[in-house]
Amino acid sequence: MDKFFNPSSVVVIGSSNSPFNLGATISNILHYLGYKGELYVVNSKGEDVHGSRGFKSVLDIPGEVDLAIILTPARVAPAVVRECGMKGIRHLVIETAEFSEAGEEGKRLQEEISACAREFGIRFLGPNCLGTLNAHNKFCCFFGIIPGMYDEVFDRPGAISYVIQSGGVGALIIDSFRKDITNVNKMVSIGNKEDVDEADLIDYFNGDNTEVICLYLENVKNGRKLLETAKRIRKPVLVYKVGRTGEGSKAAMSHTAGMANNDVIFESACSQAGIVRLKSISELYTLPKMFTGMPLMKGKRVAVFTNSGAFGGITADLIVESGLEMASFSEETKERLRATAKLFNVSNPVDLGPTLGKQTFIDIWDAILSSDRVDGLLAVPNVWQKVVVEAICELEDICRKYDKPAAIYIPNAIERILAIRTEFNLPIFESPEEATRALTVSHQHYRSLGKKVGEALPV
Amino acid sequence: MDKFFNPSSVVVIGSSNSPFNLGATISNILHYLGYKGELYVVNSKGEDVHGSRGFKSVLDIPGEVDLAIILTPARVAPAVVRECGMKGIRHLVIETAEFSEAGEEGKRLQEEISACAREFGIRFLGPNCLGTLNAHNKFCCFFGIIPGMYDEVFDRPGAISYVIQSGGVGALIIDSFRKDITNVNKMVSIGNKEDVDEADLIDYFNGDNTEVICLYLENVKNGRKLLETAKRIRKPVLVYKVGRTGEGSKAAMSHTAGMANNDVIFESACSQAGIVRLKSISELYTLPKMFTGMPLMKGKRVAVFTNSGAFGGITADLIVESGLEMASFSEETKERLRATAKLFNVSNPVDLGPTLGKQTFIDIWDAILSSDRVDGLLAVPNVWQKVVVEAICELEDICRKYDKPAAIYIPNAIERILAIRTEFNLPIFESPEEATRALTVSHQHYRSLGKKVGEALPV
């Protein structure tokens, strides 16, 4: 599977100098990214493209080829796949569309490709996909990428790997990470997933440097395979699935040729396999950061801290509604809290009045997280003064000290949140709902892990 | 009630030149905003503050006073209220805290104030509140506002009026409107609402230039009054209420001294009175724009448009899950759609391939909105080219032509959404969930209106 992300030599079949040629955008982006391996192109004239040597057929290429990227019209794709097989290429990315998502003829072509691939022992992505992106080694075979568009992913690679069934969703994820503290590790678009599917990729991401695995799925073809694979995985697996309703399923079908799935069965499979189901597209890029720096939440008891009174009540509601519990402090904890500063409330939610001391925040958070009646912290500090941000910068250390997570939300306009998050590299969520959800999901994953290792984990 | 928002003369009682004096921040912000009326201060030394003439007692002020703003310690507040009564002042904003939210003694003081006010026929806001902000005439008696902080509200007043029980939530709303197309008209913080409450203010906002009334409530003291008032109102009333759970209610109690409310009863009252209950704090500032420019949604049938395939399925799920329906197009509509451009899908959701023509978008939206099988549009255009934004700029006109709304979401990172929204003054929502919700809420309000006028409105 690694050849899809780290090929030593690549051919782009269907890359030419014609105007609007999509294959040429791939040659171009690979050049731009400084791809170090051999890069060939194949087109009807056998012409060079963007400095890559051109051939009329893969069979004419002198050296070995690890990966072929195919962007020819659908009708010639079966012949191209056969030539790749004869050339000894064992990994293909078939980006061409107009296969099973487009009707009977496309379906027949897709089956033909599949049969041919089996004959040669070829593994392939697609058809009707974008292929792969590997931020760490600056490899990308997505078509249509303009040089510069995704610089930030490649300059600041992250820990989250994605399997997506839509380029549009991939672009939204990459765009959104510009203002976040984590980023994409690898991303793969599987399109109609005739061969390689989400389960194969989860398996692969389980063995590489990925920390969180996220999936955007429009359908599941082999539910049992996904279930059995996910059961073995220890890394968090987060899934947003379209087609929860009949109408959604129908719409997805015209996009990536899925089948109507029974969502109740999928839900139950996720629950068995410890897969976290996401509730919105944005959770695909906002929630993973809860797993990259913070300890897991081992119980349900949440302490709330705020210096903006209303958010105590707001988050208490959200915590209870999401199935977590408001922690009940011991007298000892309350006594420690009283000693820190003038607090409006020393019971949970802790409500701090105006203070200028960074250490006050730290003392309060230490008192809360050290309590054996608390499993995690929902922190809602209004950052009206710089000392508050400076205090938040030390919160992760306190969390690690007590092996408990904090989810942070600052009750400020979104552009302020984005600015502070990126400037200070803090895992700040964008709403109280999102922060509460992050704690919920952290705990859900912790419980799944417990089931997977077959014993109760320490609480 | 208008005197709270448009007073001809004001006294700030408890405004002095002492360091950290909160009353002085009010004198200061009123000067900064260029308050045109008479502005006096009262303090123990009788000293002038920020150029406003100072007295030792309101009784010494030579002229009439419309509104007194009180920031003295709680224990002297009853005597101050009495003096105001004797002076003939009939409108007070009691911003001082430490009343019923702080225990028995505070509760007694609050009752004393209340009795005294009744004796003189005084109406008052608070105690434990911020008072009022009127963006249109640049009046603001919130304490703690630094000059410049809220310039955008006063420079670009809007159509949404707020009743809030928390200054923190008010600040979040004002901050968030910096990057939106609508803005605050009036905002009033009611704190412990011993006298003037949310119902009084809804009534007042029903008669002024407000277009949408939004409430953030931590408790409801007089449910029947709220219900009866809301029933009379034709403007949309949107409410976020804390205390939906026992824990949330308990937390709110320490903030603004409410009582535990039964949320089931509140829910049923809202439904009877046509009040829209909001699901998140952010809906307080994101949803109102659906009511300021777009026609109401008269039925449940939604058409989806996208040029980014995945979002067809994503939104179809959301529409069905929110209780709306995916519209089913007639053959005639499909024929019109086919004539516009190469579409990946002419059934609902409409999926447009790459196109460079602004007119294509307009033709498609016209075909959709003119259909008598469609009640509203959920538009998810990826704005990868400037022509798309230019097309969106004409969408509101098409909506008005057919008297049907569109909710717009662009599948881009949030900072891009904010930038396009403000630059082109477009009602763009921040997520597909929010856009779907906007249509739902629009239809909910339309149905409530129908019940209120006692007959079915045209569908």
User: Residues B1-57: pLDDT tens digits?
Assistant: 999 999 999 999 999 999 989 999 999 999 999 999 999 999 999 999 999 999 999
Contact status of B152 with chain A (Cβ, < 8 Å)? no
Contact A313 B216 (CB under 8 A): no
Mean pLDDT of chain B: 94
Name the residue type at position B332. E
Q: B445: part of which helix (H) or strand (E)? A: helix B432-452
Q: Is the pLDDT of residue B455 over 60?
A: no
Name the pLDDT band for B261 (thresholds 50, 70, 90).
Answer: low
Nearest to A341 by CA among A357, A328, A325: A357
Give yes or no for a contact between B287 and B387, defined as CB atoms under 8 angstroms apart. no
B414-435 average pLDDT score: 96
Give CA–CA dist B90/B3, Å, rounded: 9
Give yes or no for a contact between B211 and B234, defined as CB atoms under 8 angstroms apart. no
- DSSP conformation class of B371: -
Contact status of B316 with chain A (Cβ, < 8 Å)? yes
Nearest to B212 by CA among B191, B234, B229: B234
B81-105 average pLDDT score: 94
For chain A, the maximum distance between any two Cα atoms, rounded to a whole number of angstroms, is: 82
Other Cβ atoms less than 10 A from the Cβ of B384: the count is 16
Strand partners, A162: A187, A214
Contact status of B380 with chain A (Cβ, < 8 Å)? no
Contact status of B385 with chain A (Cβ, < 8 Å)? no
> In the prediction, which pLDDT does B458 show?
57
Nearest to A179 among B242, B312, B413 (CB): B413
Contact B254 A345 (CB under 8 A): yes
Interface test with A, best of B175, B184, B242, B383 (most A CBs within 10 A): B242
> In the prediction, which pLDDT does B341 show?
84
Which residues of chain B make contact with A316, given a CB cutoff of 8 A?
245, 247-248, 250-251
Nearest to B309 among A249, A250, A255 (CB): A255
Mean pLDDT of chain A: 93
Nearest CA to CA, how far is B317 from chain A (Å)? 4
Q: What's the length of chain B?
A: 459
Give CA–CA dist A138/A32, Å, rounded: 10
- Torsion angle of C-alpha atoms B163, B165, B166, B171, degrees rounded to 10: 0
Give yes or no for a contact between B281 and B169, defined as CB atoms under 8 angstroms apart. yes
Residues 6+ apart with CB under 8 A from A155: none
Other Cβ atoms less than 10 A from the Cβ of B265: the count is 12
Give CA–CA dist B449/B442, Å, rounded: 11
| First-last CA distance in chain B | 37
> In the prediction, which pLDDT does A109 show?
96
Give yes or no for a contact between A140 and A30, defined as CB atoms under 8 angstroms apart. yes
Beta-sheet pairing, A131-134 with A123-125: unpaired
- The alpha carbon of A111 is separated from its chain's Cα centroid by a whole number of angstroms, namely 30
Alpha-helix runs per DSSP H in B68-193: 77-87, 104-120, 151-155, 167-176
Give yes or no for a contact between B293 and B397, defined as CB atoms under 8 angstroms apart. no
Contact B308 A168 (CB under 8 A): yes
More confident residue, B237 or B50: B237
Give yes or no for a contact between A124 and A68, defined as CB atoms under 8 angstroms apart. no
Nearest to B144 by CA among B49, B256, B15, B35: B15
Helix axes A310-321, B167-176, angle to 10 degrees: 80
Task: Scan residues 277-296 of B and list those with Cβ closer than 8 Å to A.
Answer: 280-282
Give CA–CA dist B403/B408, Å, rounded: 16
Contact B255 A313 (CB under 8 A): yes
Contact B175 A431 (CB under 8 A): no
For residue B62, the number of C-alpha atoms closer than 13 Å in the C-beta half-sphere is 3
Residues in chain A with pLDDT values less than 70: 254-261, 454-459
Nearest CA to CA, how far is B48 from chain A (Å)? 27
CB contacts < 8 A (A, B): 175
Task: Scan residues 389-418 of A and list those with Cβ closer than 8 Å to B.
Answer: 411-416, 418
Other Cβ atoms less than 10 A from the Cβ of A160: the count is 30
Residue bearing tokens 């007070």: B92
> In the prediction, which pLDDT does B257 show?
58
Q: Write down the pTM of the prediction.
A: 0.94
> In the prediction, which pLDDT does B258 show?
57
3-class state of residue B387 by DSSP:
helix
Which residues of chain B make contact with A382, given a CB cutoff of 8 A?
168
What region, left, alpha or beta, does residue B400 occupy, with left being phi > 0 and alpha being psi -120 to 50 degrees?
Answer: alpha
Interface test with A, best of B219, B247, B267, B416 (most A CBs within 10 A): B247
Give yes or no for a contact between B413 and A175, defined as CB atoms under 8 angstroms apart. yes
> Token pair for residue B256?
């603004």
> In the prediction, which pLDDT does B456 show?
52
Q: Is the pLDDT of residue B320 over 70?
A: yes
> In the prediction, which pLDDT does A18 show?
93
Name the residue type at position A207. G
> In the prediction, which pLDDT does B230 show?
93
Report the 3 state secondary structure along B166-178: CHHHHHHHHHHHH
Residue bearing tokens 């407000």: B210
Give CA–CA dist B429/B18, Å, rounded: 46
Strands, E, within B410-454: which ranges?
Answer: 428-429
Render pLDDT for B356-392 as a digit per residue (tens, 0 to 9).
789 999 999 999 999 999 999 999 999 988 999 999 9
- Tell me the backbone φ, ψ of residue B215, rounded to 5 degrees: -125, 135
Q: Classify the C-alpha dihedral A275-A276-A280-A285 as positive or negative.
A: negative
More confident residue, B342 or A185: A185
Other Cβ atoms less than 10 A from the Cβ of B459: the count is 10
Which residues of chain B make contact with A165, given a CB cutoff of 8 A?
310
Residues 6+ apart with CB under 8 A from A222: A197, A199
Beta-sheet pairing, B139-140 with B131-134: antiparallel
Give CA–CA dist B273/B276, Å, rounded: 9
Contact status of B181 with chain A (Cβ, < 8 Å)? no
Residue bearing tokens 């790749």: A84
Q: Is the pLDDT of residue B309 over 90?
A: no
> Token pair for residue B96?
């001082």
For chain B, the maximum distance between any two Cα atoms, rounded to a whole number of angstroms, is: 82
Task: Scan residues 91-150 of B and list those with Cβ closer than 8 Å to A.
Answer: none
Which residues of chain B make contact with A418, given a CB cutoff of 8 A?
414-415
Give CA–CA dist B150/B176, Å, rounded: 11
